[in-house]
Amino acid sequence: MTARARADLATAERIVVKVGSSSISGDSAWRIPLIVDALAAAHARGAEVVLVSSGAIATGIPFLRLDARPTDLATQQAAAAVGQNYLIYRYQEALRPHAIVSGQVLLTTNDLENATSRSNAKRAMERLLALRVLPIVNENDTVATQEIRFGDNDRLGALVAQLIGADALVLLSDVESLYTKPPSDPDATPLDVIPAGSDLSGLEFGASVVNGVGTGGAATKVSAARLAAASGIGVLVTSADLIEEALSGADIGTWFEPADVTQH
């Protein structure tokens, strides 16, 4: 059943959680067990959980002995191929104590735009969830031919939530909530609840590139949240450090109320 409010996350039956590169790669890799423990707790109560995780390129960079994120497509693809392997390994190692098996699902834009491949992706995801596997989804960066990404994995998270008819989407960030202006602005105030269909044109969400390894930002999260909410999926945007509280239905972050639709 669709999560109509934050508190409903504690009982939501199907949840998609998206985490970005900056939260789980490099010096932040310690956060992977923290995130996995929270996902495992939701899984243990019977929820079906899907993790959309960025981080393949960022994880691969040190193994290729690169000093920074590569700018050419071929090296990005190489870093993604190496990094995806290590990223999934780290997640599975963190899941092992919980006796949960992960499944890797790599998607491209075409996979979700083409009717046949979209149907195949949906069937595969549904079967994984029925088998109590925890799918870990990422852009298939290694075979990307135009851009290396959907635009950002926040959008991918929203599209995956739509694909499987999720009850809720949780977009993890590096700040506790969204603000009316960039958080560094002294006039910025946190946003608590965004009603469905709200006009947000007067708010300043800043640039989409926020650091050297990630490609998301407040603006991309707002766009993705509104996409999912318009489909009848409740969306919470909050800090990766607060994932346990988020999945427990705590009163944190910015909540995007789902549109009232008969099905999603």
- What's 11's DSSP letter? T
Query: CA angle, 83 as apex, 33 and 36 as ends, to 5°?
Result: 15
> In degrees rounded to 5, what are phi and psi of residue 101?
-100, 135
- List, as residue ranges, the binding site: 18, 54, 141, 153, 173-174
What number of helices (H) and strands (E) belong to the chain? Answer: 9, 8
> Is 227:197 a contact under the CB 8 Å cutoff?
no
Instruction: Give 218's contacts (C-beta < 8 A, 6+ positions apart).
Output: 173, 178, 179, 182, 205, 206
95 vs 126: CA distance, rounded Å: 20
Sign of the CA dihedral running 168, 171, 172, 173:
negative
- What's 174's DSSP letter? S
Residues facing residue 235 across a β-bridge: 169, 256
- List, as residue ranges, the binding site for substrate: 54, 141, 153
52 vs 170: CA distance, rounded Å: 10
- List, as residue ranges, the binding site for ATP: 18, 173-174
> Is 139:156 a contact under the CB 8 Å cutoff?
yes
> Is 5:234 a contact under the CB 8 Å cutoff?
yes
DSSP string for 210-259? -SSS----HHHHHHHHHHHHHTT-EEEEEEGGGHHHHHTT-S-SEEEPPP
